[in-house]
């Protein structure tokens, strides 16, 4: 997710300091990747430069981190536009796993083992996400579900490929 | 988790089974510890369900042994195997397979009644399990009048009411939508772990296997475990 869009969206509910924006972002969207302070201030500077946010005030005695930012009308319009546009569906056409399977078949290595090893790694990741989901709130559940469904899609591909290995071997080695 | 001296609760070794000309198992091996949830995965027709049926003593393997708590199932009489299935094993199938003429509470109480538990006590235990599975409100309904998700929770309650040592679940969420399937798995795995029961879970759904502690993959009647691949 673009940090700048998230900041604009968060600022719509009221002006905020850089530090508070970072905290709100980490809590809602950060998952396992909290923002670095450098990213926070670089993003705010860019938004300021483009007129999407403005300075709302500077707290007395504060350094640069005590600046308060507010969203502008142009900023609100930018959020509107971004939300209205669909995300480009991922193509998923470049996959390392497919490459590994083909190379294994080309070089006479056991391709089925690659698929089995990958399945085990995927299932371990799914167990971890399932645990996290079970112990988390609704927001955690939704984020974990998104990951789980994608891993599940990979696993279905692994199963299908395992079932088609003989055909693929014949094709790549002919 | 079990201590170093503990042995697996249920072990199937070198299991072979053919139905006529069709080979279902060809040297499958499986073990589960108390309190462990193991998923049996694999494509359709790979032998997953036959493996479960052999482990549960429903199907007799042509070759190989199944030991429960150290006892070879093949040495038991039919009556002993029946008693084992009623008291030490619990079953959940894809479609609840509840008795349509009985109420949900009576369905859950049934295994206890068959084991000679007095009606009043069996009813009380059945209701307690229905409450735990969040379906006490359908206790007096017949299975035909409840939703798929509710029916499957009733089936889980029936499987757990005898506090079995092994729960066999064959595609327990196969007929449910994602949300209901998830809740059923959550309740099944949670209740089994709490009571220390082992769960043998057959599923082709990776998301369902996410509730397991480990998986055993069956392909062409043979098992592959993650440990062998690691």
Rounded to a whole number, what is the distance in Å from the CA of B44 to chain A's nearest CA?
A: 11
Residues A156 and B41: their CA atoms lie apart, in Å, by 12
What is the number of CB-based contacts under 8 A between chain A and chain B? Answer: 42
Residue B112 lies in a domain: no
The alpha carbon torsion through A163, A167, A168, A172 (nearest 10 deg) reads 160
Residue B36 lies in a domain: yes
Residues B195 and B42: their CA atoms lie apart, in Å, by 28
End-to-end CA distance of chain B: 21
Residue B121 lies in a domain: no
According to DSSP, the β-strands at A67-71 and B22-32 are unpaired
**Assigned token pair, A101:** 């399977």
Domain count for chain B: 1
Q: Render pLDDT for A140-167 as a digit per residue (tens, 0 to 9).
A: 999 999 999 999 999 999 989 988 999 9
Of the partner residues A116, A155, A162, the one whose CB lies closest to the CB of residue B206? A155
Rounded to a whole number, what is the distance in Å from the CA of B52 to chain A's nearest CA?
A: 21
Q: What is the ipTM of this complex?
A: 0.79
Residue B154 lies in a domain: no
Q: Domain with B216 in it: what CATH number? A: 3.40.50.300
Residue B18: domain span: 7-88+199-230
For the full predicted model, state whether its pTM sits above 0.90.
no
Phi/psi class of residue A133: alpha, beta or left (left: φ > 0; alpha: ψ in -120 to 50)? alpha
**Assigned token pair, B146:** 């409840």
A155's CB contacts (< 8 A; 6+ apart) are A119, A122, A123, B206
Q: Where are the alpha helices (DSSP H) in chain B?
A: 48-55, 78-87, 104-114, 119-132, 148-160, 178-195, 206-209, 226-229
Residue B28 lies in a domain: yes
Q: Which residue of B has its CA nearest to A146?
A: B207
Q: Are A33 and A15 in contact (CB under 8 A)?
A: no
**Assigned token pair, A5:** 């869009």
Query: Helix (H, G, I), strand (E, B), or coil: what is residue B46?
Result: coil
* Mutation to test the A interface, candidates B206, B208, B218, B224, most A Cβ within 10 Å: B206
Q: Render pLDDT for B110-163 as a digit per residue (tens, 0 to 9).
A: 999 998 999 999 999 999 999 999 999 999 999 999 999 999 999 999 999 999
Query: Helix (H, G, I), strand (E, B), or coil: what is residue B148?
Result: helix
| Chain B CB within 8 Å of residue A153 CB | no
Q: Which residue of A has its CA nearest to B224?
A: A116
Closest by CA to B229, choosing from B219, B217, B220, B221, is B217
Residue B177 lies in a domain: no
Looking at beta carbons, which residues of chain B come within 8 Å of A119? 217
Distance of CA B47 to the CA centre of its chain: 16
Residues B10 and B12: their CA atoms lie apart, in Å, by 7
Inter-chain touch A152–B207, beta carbons under 8 Å: yes
Inter-chain touch A156–B210, beta carbons under 8 Å: no
**Assigned token pair, B17:** 């089974």
pLDDT in tens, chain A (174 residues): 889 999 999 999 999 999 999 999 999 898 778 999 899 999 999 999 999 999 998 877 655 558 899 999 999 999 999 999 988 888 887 789 999 999 999 999 999 999 999 999 999 999 999 999 989 999 999 999 999 999 999 999 998 998 899 999 999 888
């Amino acid at each position: 997710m673009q940090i700048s869009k998230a900041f604009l969206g968060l600022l719509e509910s009221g002006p905020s300091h850089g530090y508070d924006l970072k905290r709100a972002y980490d809590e809602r969207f950060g998952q396992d990747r909290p923002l670095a302070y450098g990213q926070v201030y670089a993003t705010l500077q860019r938004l300021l430069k483009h007129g999407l946010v403005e300075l709302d005030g500077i707290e007395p005695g504060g350094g640069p981190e005590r600046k308060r930012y507010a969203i502008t009308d142009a900023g609100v319009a930018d959020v509107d536009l971004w939300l209205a546009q669909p995300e480009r569906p991922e193509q998923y056409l470049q996959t390392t796993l497919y490459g590994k399977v083909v190379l294994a078949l080309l070089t006479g290595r056991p391709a089925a083992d690659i698929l089995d090893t990958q399945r085990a790694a995927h299932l371990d990741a799914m167990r971890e996400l399932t645990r996290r989901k079970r112990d988390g709130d609704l927001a955690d559940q939704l984020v974990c579900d998104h990951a789980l469904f994608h891993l599940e899609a990979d696993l279905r591909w692994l199963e299908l490929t395992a079932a088609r290995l003989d055909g693929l071997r014949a094709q790549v080695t002919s | 988790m079990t201590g170093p001296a503990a042995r697996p609760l249920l072990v199937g070794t070198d299991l072979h089974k053919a139905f006529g000309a069709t080979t279902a198992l060809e040297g499958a091996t499986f073990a589960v510890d108390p309190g462990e949830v193991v998923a049996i995965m694999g494509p359709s027709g790979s032998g997953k369900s036959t493996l479960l049926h052999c482990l549960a003593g429903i199907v007799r393997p042509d070759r190989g042994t199944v030991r429960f708590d150290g006892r070879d199932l093949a040495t038991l009489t039919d009556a002993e195997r029946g008693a084992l299935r009623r008291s030490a094993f619990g079953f959940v199938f894809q479609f609840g397979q509840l008795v349509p003429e009985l109420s949900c509470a009576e369905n859950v109480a049934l295994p206890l009644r068959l084991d000679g538990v007095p009606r009043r006590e069996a009813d009380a235990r059945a209701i307690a399990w229905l409450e735990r599975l969040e379906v006490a409100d359908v206790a007096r309904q017949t299975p035909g009048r409840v939703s798929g998700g509710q029916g499957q929770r009733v089936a889980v309650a029936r499987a757990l009411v005898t506090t079995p040592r092994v729960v066999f679940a064959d595609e327990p969420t196969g007929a449910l939508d994602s949300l209901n399937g998830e809740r059923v798995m959550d309740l099944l795995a949670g209740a089994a772990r709490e009571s220390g029961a082992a769960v043998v879970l057959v599923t082709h759904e990776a998301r369902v296997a996410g509730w397991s502690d480990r998986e055993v993959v069956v392909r062409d009647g043979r098992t592959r475990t993650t440990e062998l691949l690691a």
